[in-house]
Amino acid sequence: MAENQLTIHDRPALKDPRMILGLSGWMDGGDVSTGTIECLVRKLEADVLADIQPEGFYLYSFPGSMEMSAMLRPFCRIEDGLIREFRPPSNTFYYDEASGVILFEGKEPNFRWREYADCVFAVASQFQVREMYFIGSVAGVVPHTRGPRLFCSVSEEALKERMEGLGVRFSDYAGPASVVTFLTTVATARHVPMTTLVAEIPAYIQGRNPRCIEAVIKHLAALLGLPVQLDDLRSISDAFGKRLDELVTKRPELAELIEKLESDYDSEIFDTQMGDLKSWLQEQGIRLD
């Protein structure tokens, strides 16, 4: 059974816990998915609850360039000829007893989605999780000078009313599915309410985006009543925004694009295709780190 790959490290008495999921991979632009979980683990001083062992879930080698393979392989560190560290993909559950949350940070599996889901829902079942949330992000046509748009999908119709009060938009999408969509279908079958919140973040910014992580955590904190202080993250976000503004002033062509994005954002004009923007960014060689 796939659940044999699940190791439970602790068995706290959690009262009606909620589970929040974050995964690296397709929907982790700006590290918003994994960065949100990492931030909450740190701020809540959460303890390790369980791990999913990685064997059989991941592709480590793929025909093609070394750059492609490097994206798939485990991390290692060698110093002076000695192997100091070998780190395969991790999938770890944490818990905070005071707030009643289970936090999961993992890597989207390449194989055996059903078995991976069995492990996730085994934890949910053992600790009687009453609702689940996934936090993710995708690159979009939004300016860094505005908050990210939040899109939502749910496992059952009854969840929509609660989300409407948060100013989120419900997703309309047809195309390749992620493991998160699969997890949501499993949640439906198992009668566990599950909500997916996906932030649309600026496509022209590379690397971790603390402003978007802050925005997502604020929504989560309001939704779940999490006792987290964000003053330090606010300072990091402000410094990040200031640095972006300075970079933009040096790129008149980018400043012009951002003005257009701001106008569309404020007028609630949506362009989810992004084809023209991606092509233009590549042609201009624009990448803000």
pLDDT digits (tens, 9 = 90+) for 61-97: 777 777 767 777 888 899 999 999 998 999 999 999 9
Tell me the residue type at 244.
L
Host domain of residue 162: 2-54+89-284
CA distance 40 to 227: 10
The predicted pLDDT at position 74 comes to 86
Could you tell me if residue 95 is inside a domain? yes
What are the CB-based long-range contacts (under 8 Å, 24+) for 111-117?
111/56, 111/57, 111/58, 111/59, 112/2, 112/56, 112/57, 113/179, 113/182, 114/2, 115/2, 115/5, 115/56, 115/57, 116/2, 116/52, 116/57, 116/179, 117/179, 117/182, 117/183, 117/186
Beta pairing partners, 135? 197
Could you tell me if residue 83 is inside a domain? no
- For every residue of 18-41, DSSP letters joined together read EEEEEEESTTBGGGHHHHHHHHHH
Could you tell me if residue 146 is inside a domain? yes
CATH number at residue 168: 3.40.50.10900
Continuous H helices in the chain: 32-44, 66-70, 113-126, 160-164, 179-190, 210-224, 231-249, 252-266, 275-284
Could you tell me if residue 79 is inside a domain? no
Tokens found for residue 289: 């780190």
Mean pLDDT by 10 residues, the chain (289 residues): 83 94 91 95 96 92 74 87 92 96 96 96 96 92 84 90 82 87 95 93 85 90 89 89 84 80 76 53 52
Burial classification of residue 187, based on how many CB atoms lie within 10 Å of its CB (0-12 exposed, 13-18 middle, 19 or more buried) = buried
User: CB of 168 within 8 A of CB of 152?
Assistant: yes
Q: What is the mean pLDDT of the chain?
A: 87
Instruction: Determine what percent of the chain is predicted with pLDDT higher than 70.
Output: 91
200: helix, strand or coil: strand
Could you tell me if residue 230 is inside a domain? yes
Beta pairing partners, 138? 200
The predicted pLDDT at position 60 comes to 87
Burial 76-96 (b: 16+ CB within 10 A, else e): eeeeeeeeeeeeebebbbbbb
Side-chain-side CA neighbours of 116 within 13 Å: the count stands at 24
Tokens found for residue 116: 């991976």
The predicted pLDDT at position 142 comes to 84
What's the total number of domains in the chain? 1
Q: Which pTM does this prediction carry?
A: 0.88
Could you tell me if residue 217 is inside a domain? yes
CA distance 42 to 227: 12
Could you tell me if residue 239 is inside a domain? yes
CA distance 271 to 221: 29
Name 27's Cβ contacts closer than 8 Å, sequence gap at least 6: 33, 136, 137, 138, 178, 180, 198
